[in-house]
């Protein structure tokens, strides 16, 4: 019976995440209440509170459940880069990330929700601190990648690895934000790799 209860709880957890993700994406985080999520999932409000304290917990769980398991291996690949073939390998890993966001619905929705609906304030919440740490770790992986490329003398002479990492992070954030924008949408499948090539060609040495 205990095993069945655990399996049922796991099923309910994923049902709530999937329902919340759909509602957050279609009507926004601010307009979605826990009651909405419970009703849409065909569950009670108590079932929601059994798994989550509030919407911040749900957003964190979306990121940890759907995005982190697939993004962490890509970050590990960047951290494993060494000088030599670093440039082409770095580009390939970034292409994998773009393809993942484009093709994996759950990962894409988690990115969209986190990027478009998490408010930034001076008094940071636990969710903001968590997501800022995730962003910092990703920036560190980019910094390692550009360091490996720099050691191969493949960056322009006037650019540092840190400048490239920060600039590329801003570029990715802007491109993904535009991809998730209902108006003037950027199709990652059509333009993602092209835009990345254009940007990177501007910072790599001839």
DSSP string, 4-57: HHHHHHHHHHHHHHHHHHHHHHHH-STT--HHHHHHHHT--HHHHHHH-SSHHH
The CATH 1.10.357.10 portion of the chain extends over: 63-203
Average pLDDT of every residue of the chain: 88
The CATH 1.10.10.60 portion of the chain extends over: 1-52
Q: Mean pLDDT throughout 78-87?
A: 88
Q: What architecture is the 63-203 domain classified under in CATH?
A: Orthogonal Bundle (1.10)
Tens of pLDDT, residues 159-184: 999 999 999 989 998 898 888 887 77
Question: For the structural domain made of 1-52, what CATH number should be given?
Answer: 1.10.10.60
Query: What pLDDT shows up at residue 17?
Result: 95
| Residues belonging to the chain | 206
Residue 119 clears pLDDT 60, i.e. is over it = no
% of residues, the chain, pLDDT over 90: 55
Residue 2 clears pLDDT 50, i.e. is over it = no
pTM: 0.85
The three-state DSSP-derived secondary structure of 68-108 is HHHHHHHHHHHHCCCCCCHHHHHHHHHHHHHHHHHHCHHHH
């Amino acid at each position: 019976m205990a095993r069945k209860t655990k399996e049922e709880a796991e099923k309910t957890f994923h049902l709530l995440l999937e329902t919340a993700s759909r509602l957050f994406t279609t009507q926004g985080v601010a307009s979605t209440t826990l009651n909405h999520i419970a009703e849409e999932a065909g569950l009670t409000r108590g079932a929601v509170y059994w798994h989550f304290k509030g919407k911040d917990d749900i957003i964190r769980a979306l990121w940890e459940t759907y995005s982190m398991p697939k993004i962490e291996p890509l970050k590990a690949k960047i951290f494993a880069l060494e000088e030599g073939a670093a440039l082409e390998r770095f580009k390939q890993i970034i292409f994998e990330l773009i393809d993942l966001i484009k093709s994996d619905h759950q990962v894409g929705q988690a990115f969209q929700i986190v990027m478009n609906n998490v408010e930034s304030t001076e008094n940071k919440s636990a969710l903001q601190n968590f997501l800022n740490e995730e962003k910092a770790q990703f920036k560190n992986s980019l910094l390692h990648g550009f360091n490996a490329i720099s050691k191969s003398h493949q960056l322009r002479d006037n650019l540092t690895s840190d400048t490239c990492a920060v600039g590329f992070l801003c570029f990715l954030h802007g491109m993904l934000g535009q991809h998730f924008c209902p108006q003037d949408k950027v199709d990652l499948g059509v333009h993602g790799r092209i835009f990345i090539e254009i940007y990177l060609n501007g910072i790599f040495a001839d």
